[in-house]
Amino acid sequence: VYKIQDVCNDAKIKEGDVLLKLSANSRFTVLIVVTLNCCLLNLGSAQRYKSLGEKLSNKYSSQDFKKSFRYLDLASCILPSIGEAHLQKGMVYIQTDNLGNAIYEFTRSALSRIPSPAGLTNFATIICERDSNLRQRFDSVLKETHLQEMEGTKIINREIIEFYFLALFGAHFAPNAWLSSTDNRCLLDGIGIDHLKEVMLHRIRTRYLKNVETIFHSLVTVIGGFDLLLIFRSGPKKVPFDIKSINLKDLDETSVSYLKFAFDFITQVFNTVIRDCWEKNLENYQYLAMVRIVECWIKSNRAVLQFSHRDEEFCRSLLQLLNDIGKSKLVKVSPTANHRPKRKY
């Protein structure tokens, strides 16, 4: 096995004791980066299997896979445009029954610039296939969480935010696979949709400080889910279309209902989490990152932009947040803009 240093020497990128800087456009540089990414992915996957074999029981926690996460996070940082690292992290979360985080990773894997096909497959297995093993595992986790919430004997704030959101997400993404055929206000197991929403939003309002990462993942999932919804509803045999340029009037009822759910969730996060805490917790990137992600989503998708213009509550929420930022004196806001952003997201 050759060391990278030996390969560099063979490539004549060293003169004497001085290392020459690799050119970003060099094919050799691309080879090094891709090779390093593949090595980290393989190390992360191997470490996952090693962790699985080290325990006799099938009960795992995220701490059991901390080495695997470290390798996969590095791989994602080196080549963020490749979705394989997110796929592998999603597979780890399946082992720990963190299926909300798993869906987040599968969403990012499926929507990366170089997506992993397995990311979309695993996403569909949980969200769209009501009889799959993964879906049955989630249903069991949801029932257990609901029981603990009703009994009130255990602190499960993160679990409620993660799993109740995922159930609501699934009910709006694939209603036929989640909602009761006799009462569309309930899931297949009889849990009320309104109850899940009320409890989840209450926990977000009152317990967000220790769960901002889970809320961040949920927000990214609901945004990415719209693109995946259009992909699934277009079907493999229909004429391909540009998801980013489709008009709101061309969306079907399920897609419009999903957008309403998405913007209701985003508005609640803006009002109860970000406005209250962004200035007090500047060291946490998630607060303002959520605002930027939402704005980029709106800017890059015509149907989303058109829907946002018609959502009065969202417009008011965003305006109040921008006013708060302007009044904070942390940023300089000019009353007249002399530059129009041209970046395409």
The per-residue pLDDT for range 64-119, each reduced to its tens digit, is 999 999 999 999 999 999 999 999 999 999 999 999 999 999 999 999 999 999 99
Q: 25 or 263: whose pLDDT is higher?
A: 263
Distance (Å, rounded) from C-alpha 202 to C-alpha 157? 10
Mean pLDDT across 231-245: 71
Average pLDDT of the segment spanning 195-223:
94
Helical spans, DSSP H, in the chain: 4-10, 27-53, 66-78, 84-95, 99-111, 117-127, 133-151, 157-159, 165-173, 175-178, 193-206, 212-234, 253-269, 275-277, 286-300, 302-310, 312-327
Please state the pTM of the whole predicted model: 0.88
What would the mean pLDDT of 202-219 be, rounded to a whole number? Answer: 93
Beta bridge pairs of residue 146? none
- Which residues have C-beta within 8 Å of that of residue 81, sequence separation ≥ 6? 112, 113, 114
Residue 10: CA count within 13 A, CB half-sphere: 7
Q: Give which of 254, 263, 264 is closest to 171, Cα–Cα.
A: 254
Q: What is the mean pLDDT of residues 327-338?
A: 68
pLDDT of residue 20: 63
Confidence of residue 159 (pLDDT cuts 50, 70, 90): very high
Q: Kindly indicate the confidence band of residue 2, based on its pLDDT and cuts at 50, 70 and 90.
A: very low
Q: Which two tokens stand for residue 335?
A: 């009353």
14 membership: H or E segment, kind and range:
strand 14-15
Q: How many CB atoms lie within 10 A of CB 228?
A: 22
More confident residue, 194 or 13: 194
> b or e along 87-126 (b: 16 or more beta carbons within 10 Å of the residue's beta carbon)?
bbbbbbbbbbbbbbbbbbbbbbbbbbeebbebbbebbbeb
pLDDT of residue 1: 38
DSSP string computed for 163-188: IIHHHHHHHHH-HHHHB-SS-TTBBT
